[in-house]
A = this chain, B = another copy of it.
Amino acid sequence: MRQSQLFTKTRREDPKDEVAANAKLLIRAGFINKELAGVYSYLPLGLRVLNKIKNIIREEMNALGGVELEMTALQNPELYEKTGRWSDEAVDNWFKTSLKTGTELGLGFTHEEMITELMKNHISSYKDLPIYAYQIQTKFRNEQRAKSGVMRGREFPMKDLYSFNDSEGSLNDFYDQVKGAYERIFEQVGLGDRTYITFASGGSFSKYSHEFQTLSEAGEDTIFVCEEKKFAINKEVMDEETLSELGIKPEELKEKKSIEVGNIFKLGTKFSEPLGLTFTDENGEKRPVVMGSYGIGPARVMGTVAEVLSDEKGLVWPRSIAPFLLHLIWIPGEGEMGAEVADRLYDELTSCGVEVFYDDRMASAGEKFATADLLGIPYRVVVSDKTLKEEKFELKERSTGKVRLIDINEMKALCGGE
């Protein structure tokens, strides 16, 4: 894409009404636009990042045998009355609205009730199980505070996977597979080395659930990390009982702030019983379906990457989720040669399928470099009078700052070497 065709402008100053680093940076760089506190639109560059994160998640969900669907935001109160989650006392972050007839509706903060009800049309026998279904869809949560940028939105995309099994044993097997898929997802988006699977409160069915927590001073959670065994314990379940069960000593743990980037939860029959989702087993007996639910917020992942990988100059995207792989910068010079070479390089790389963001604007080198650092595209390639003389291109890696001169073949190898 040519930069002259992108309508978004970067800003020199941080927005005054944001405290979170992710929101400041993403707004300054033109990745998101603040509509209301906790409500952000995704501008073209931000949408590209978000879609890449969604696709990494989608591929792992498909590999688990997950089938994608898309449920609605508008929710039927009757279902939530059956599970005791309709009242504002039970759930403190409902957004509610109403039909012209006056009937109240909810805006989904989650979809356990809806998918449990939906599955009643499709599950009757043990032969129908297991079923793994997921969506990547917009959730609404009426947060009291919304000061963490895209890490805690009032409207945000979420991947929610639901599992339907015939027994606790097969739920447990699938649950372990999801753990592996989540580890691969956080590895791929560039958060693997600082993300810890974390024992957390399990709710009514299971002793523990598992969270995936990324270390960051900007986090709202407190965890106790065991670096040697690469796991953590959420403060909420940090007691002698947990320590003894996990066979771990307090001195092996370090207290840290962290961001919850994912969670997985054994629901058991918590939803299938009140909503009547049953199946007939091999002996002809009716039993409630055994469920699990598994969430990741793609926008929170984006915000977390912005929090933990950026530097004083701006954003730093890992290659896997960068809006473009390569930021091609033409520095206006003496003749027309520079623009021609840059145009040709842009066409050549684009036709090879390389995602190039091409700064074809009339602007100074200083301004272009500062913008490039702010946007955080992994590789910056400069075409200028100086590089033309040397018959090479100048390549700078955003994450390390390393600069070197390369020729066209090295460039292609770099782009294809993903």
Contact = CB atoms under 8 A, between A and B. Distances in A.
Given A43-B69, A121-B33, A97 B97 contact: yes
A144 B100 contact: yes
A188 interface: no
How many copies of the chain does the oligomer comprise? Answer: 2
A114 B5 contact: no
Nearest to A133: B7
A170 interface: no
B133 A67 contact: no
Contacts of A70: 41-42, 47, 50
Contact of A100 (B33, B41, B72, B142): B142
Interface in A98-123: 98-100, 105, 107, 114, 118-119, 121-123
Interface residues of A, number: 51
Contacts of A114: 35, 41
A95 to B, nearest CB: 5
Contacts of A128: 7
Contacts of A142: 99-100
Given A76-B35, A97-B95, A142-B99, A44 B71 contact: no
Interface string A119-136: 101110000100101000
A74 B70 CA distance: 19
A154 interface: yes
A8 interface: yes
Contacts of A123: 7
B155 A73 contact: yes
B133 A36 contact: no
Given A97-B97, A118-B33, A6 B73 contact: no
A69 B31 CA distance: 10
A44 B69 contact: yes
B47 A69 contact: yes
A121 B5 contact: no
Interface in A74-103: 74-76, 95-100
A62 to B, nearest CB: 10
B6 A138 contact: no
Nearest to A50: B70
Nearest to A119: B7
A74 B154 contact: yes
Contact of A9 (B43, B44, B98, B122): B122
A188 B97 CA distance: 38
Contact of A155 (B50, B68, B74): B74
A35 B35 CA distance: 29
A65 interface: yes
Contact of A118 (B41, B73, B121, B155): B41
Contacts of A107: 97, 107
18 contacts: A5-B67, A7-B67, A7-B119, A7-B131, A8-B122, A36-B76, A36-B105, A39-B72, A41-B72, A44-B133, A47-B70, A50-B70, A74-B154, A74-B155, A95-B97, A97-B107, A99-B142, A107-B107
Nearest 3 A-B pairs (CB), nearest first? A41-B71, A42-B70, A7-B131
